A and B are shown apart, each in its own frame.
Chain A
Amino acid sequence: MANDSPISLAVELGPLRLKNPVMVASGTFGYGQEYGDLVPLERLGGVVVKGISLEPRSGNPPPRIWETCGGMLNSIGLQNVGLRAFVEEKLPLLRPLQVPVIVNLFGNTVEDYGKLAAALDGHEGIDALEINISCPNVKAGGMAFGSDPKMVFQVVSAVRSETKLPVITKLTPNVTDITVPAKAAEDAGTDILSLINTVAGMAVDAKTRRPRLANVVGGLSGPAIKPIALRMVWQVIQASNLPVIGLGGIISVEDALEFLIVGARAVQVGTANFVNPQVTLEIISGLEDYLLRQGLKDINEIIGTLELTR
């Protein structure tokens, strides 16, 4: 679409401005180079890179993936190149591109999060940080940070105090009430919430009676989880004043529209990239077509317009 397009897809999420609301989700687009020239990154609303830790991580032994009905179960084990290699090797390739770069980060301890945020704060070419709180806290017996509102508050506070960058907190759906960690993150000063991360799941080979994943359990993503994600986004929209990024199972423009109508200001596309590497480009042009058909000019005219009266 040319620049003189009468249609505006631009959105604001607190301090973050995006030319359109369609981003790629962490862990599904590598460090931005993996899809080569199939996806000009400049066309995207933002790129969220694979989660970074202070030190490189090997990840889990294989098998790490199993396909289930309409979904993908994975247990990668947070494999990543580590902070130093990211800054020295990956970030320079992203910096010249006209696309917001959001760095997803995680740690083993609350202190790790603060150190990472401090280390990333000074680097040119990073537009926001996204905190992964779905990983285990080694000092709390491996319990996921995101499952305990006190730990959510501590982690988000640790990042908030070390960076001036916009902070996004990515919530795990593996809780009873999603609004509780959402409020904890808000109280700790996050600018934006993104949700949902993968849904805890499992698969077994009945023939061998072994788990399909070496790690036994994993995270489910893909179209199968979309209704869960949409419901949780809706709950958080009602409970919080913060801008929300919706994700979980989005594979079509209709899926993206559902999240925007419910009130998400932007969306992330994850597993669908594997199915159709150009799905984000199709969703972006699909949003423009939708606005044209509806006689609208601005994507903000549909955000949060869920019609509850019958």
Chain B
Amino acid sequence: MLLRNAKIIFNKPVSAELYHMGLLCPDIAAKIQPGQFLMVRIQDRLDPLLRRPFAVHRLYPNDPPGSFEMLYKVVGRGTQLLANMQRGDFLNLLGPLGRGFRLPQDKGFVLMVAGGIGIAPLPYLAETLAASGNKGPFVLWFGGKTSTDLVCVQHFNDLGFAVQLVTEDGSEGKKGLVTGHLEQWLTQQDELPKVMYSCGPYLMQRSVAEMAARLGIPSQLSMEALMGCGVGACLSCSLRCHPPKGVQDPHYANVCQDGPVFDGEEIFWD
């Protein structure tokens, strides 16, 4: 766990609500794994007070060395202040934090599922997967409310992914919910994925976990929660999980420390 000031190398809108920000911080870039996150202190002020958690979206080993990118959605005061920051400004980062994605033991078919801003941690995972010697096939199912939610699709294509798009309003790809189309598609495949990686809204994550369980596919889900400290001290970011042996029920795991990536079967779905 490091505490570092990172220099902003770019901060640009990708759509009306989504921004991507490049940060230069070689110490953290050298350590962070796909699915881990950073607690970002937006500015040196008392309001907003708490740090905000963000995943690493892409890692740039050489451009410049030690830099990476975050993708974020402007949803409140904190992210609005973030959107107003300029190239050359500094952000204070705490990280890398949490338990990230684990690569599959066996090479072969990998499926990723993203809903909206849930795409954020997946490109770095995809880059790591592609560099691991796994030849795939790789498939991304990506759902959003509307076409402008569906960002960085080209990057997945470049990494050898077949990308299936779904929008709730039908403005791009199939119309409906990503999980609605996915199960039908999966049952038509000759071979099932070795693993399903997923990040998105709670109900989508639940559908993915239940689908993976029905089909006997291991799933790894990156979960979200309102967070205080990011290190397991404040016990705010709880997620109800099935209790390990000898632990009382209900059992609340910390998303920051026990996750943010959980195996689908760990989670108790309310």
Contact = CB atoms under 8 A, between A and B. Distances in A.
Interface of A: 27-30, 34-38, 50, 56, 58-59, 61-67, 69-72, 74, 76, 79, 222-223, 251, 271, 273-278
Nearest to A81: B247
Given A70-B46, A275-B51, A277-B3, A35 B252 contact: no
B49 A71 contact: yes
A62 B235 contact: no
A56 B248 contact: yes
B238 A64 contact: yes
Contacts of B50: 67, 72, 274-275
Nearest to B47: A70
Contact of B233 (A30, A62, A278): A30
Contacts of A66: 226
15 contacts: A28-B229, A28-B233, A28-B234, A30-B232, A50-B235, A61-B238, A62-B225, A65-B226, A74-B228, A76-B236, A222-B46, A251-B46, A271-B49, A273-B229, A274-B228
B233 A59 contact: no
Interface string B106-125: 00000000000000000000
Contacts of A63: 225-226
A34 B247 CA distance: 21
Contact of B252 (A38, A79, A251, A275): A79
B236 A64 contact: yes
Interface string B246-257: 011111100000
Closest CB pairs A-B (n = 9): A65-B236, A30-B233, A34-B233, A274-B229, A62-B238, A34-B231, A223-B46, A70-B47, A36-B1
A55 to B, nearest CB: 8
Contacts of A58: 248-252
Given A36-B1, A58-B250, A275 B49 contact: yes
A61 B240 contact: yes
B8 to A, nearest CB: 20
B234 A76 contact: yes
Contacts of A61: 238, 240, 250, 252
B47 A69 contact: yes
A69 to B, nearest CB: 5
Nearest to A214: B238
B23 interface: no
B3 A38 contact: yes
Given A67-B50, A76-B235, A275 B41 contact: yes
A62 B252 contact: yes
Contacts of A37: 1
A29 B228 contact: no
Interface string B215-234: 00000000001111111111
A78 to B, nearest CB: 10
Interface in B85-120: 92, 94
Interface string B52-68: 00000000000000000
B5 to A, nearest CB: 12
A34 to B, nearest CB: 4
B235 A59 contact: yes
Contacts of B46: 70, 222-223, 251
Nearest to A57: B248
B48 interface: yes
B188 to A, nearest CB: 37
B150 interface: no
B237 interface: yes
Contacts of B3: 38, 277-278
B239 interface: yes
Contacts of B249: 58
Contacts of A276: 41, 92
A229 B240 CA distance: 34
A222 B252 contact: no
B110 to A, nearest CB: 30
A27 B233 CA distance: 7
A34 B257 CA distance: 10
Contacts of A277: 3, 94, 231
B251 A65 contact: no
A258 B231 CA distance: 29
A223 B48 CA distance: 11
B228 A72 contact: yes
B234 A79 contact: no
A59 B238 contact: yes
A74 B238 CA distance: 12
